[in-house]
């Protein structure tokens, strides 16, 4: 059986290497929707795969780091990164270009680790809608595909504002290791 939990966040980015110059050369934002699809072949108590409230407790703080943040690729120019950090109190640096495709992979990667202790539940896929008509869907084989970019905990960096929000540093450390 598959269950789905929907999350929403507003975020800005620039997509280096994109075909469209507006995406490649200008900071722009989107109203993202992220769908987390979980699967299990057994029910828990109450005949549930996993209570939706529990899913939100486990995953929402990670999704929330992207909300109203500028998302920066670690391989962008040092000058660009410093300017973004200087003029935004909420920023996230990723080891991959912040496209819908990579967001789907990153959220899957995180959710898989965060849910590892949950009995008999696994991540089936993650769908990230960048627009009403465009989305990317990631599966485990995509997350593990190094030709799509390697996702490493040590490549994440977060602004002080994000780390201080809701004790995020402690929660990141529990799931990802030191941040």
Q: How many CB atoms lie within 10 A of CB 117?
A: 9
| Residues forming the active site | 23, 68, 130
19, HSE (Cβ side, Cα atoms, 13 Å): 0
CB 176 within 8 A of CB 151: no
Residue 129 φ/ψ, nearest 5 degrees: -90, 120
Give the residue among 118, 126, 80 at the shortest CA–CA distance from 102.
Answer: 126
């Amino acid at each position: 059986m598959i269950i789905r939990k929907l999350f929403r966040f507003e975020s800005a980015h620039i997509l280096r290497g994109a075909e469209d110059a507006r995406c490649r050369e200008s900071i722009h934002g989107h109203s993202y929707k992220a769908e987390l699809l979980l699967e299990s072949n057994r029910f828990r108590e109450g005949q549930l795969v996993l209570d939706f409230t529990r899913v939100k407790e486990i995953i929402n703080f990670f999704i929330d780091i992207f909300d109203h943040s500028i998302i920066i690729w670690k391989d962008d120019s040092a000058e660009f990164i410093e300017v973004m950090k200087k003029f935004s109190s909420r920023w996230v640096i990723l080891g991959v270009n912040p496209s819908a495709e990579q967001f789907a992979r990153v959220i899957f990667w995180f959710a898989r680790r965060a849910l590892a202790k949950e009995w008999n539940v696994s991540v089936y896929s993650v769908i990230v809608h960048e627009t009403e008509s465009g989305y990317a869907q990631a599966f485990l084989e995509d997350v593990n595909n190094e030709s799509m970019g390697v996702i490493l905990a040590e490549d994440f960096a977060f602004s002080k504002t994000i780390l201080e929000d809701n004790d995020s540093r402690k929660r990141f450390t529990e799931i990802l290791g030191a941040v």
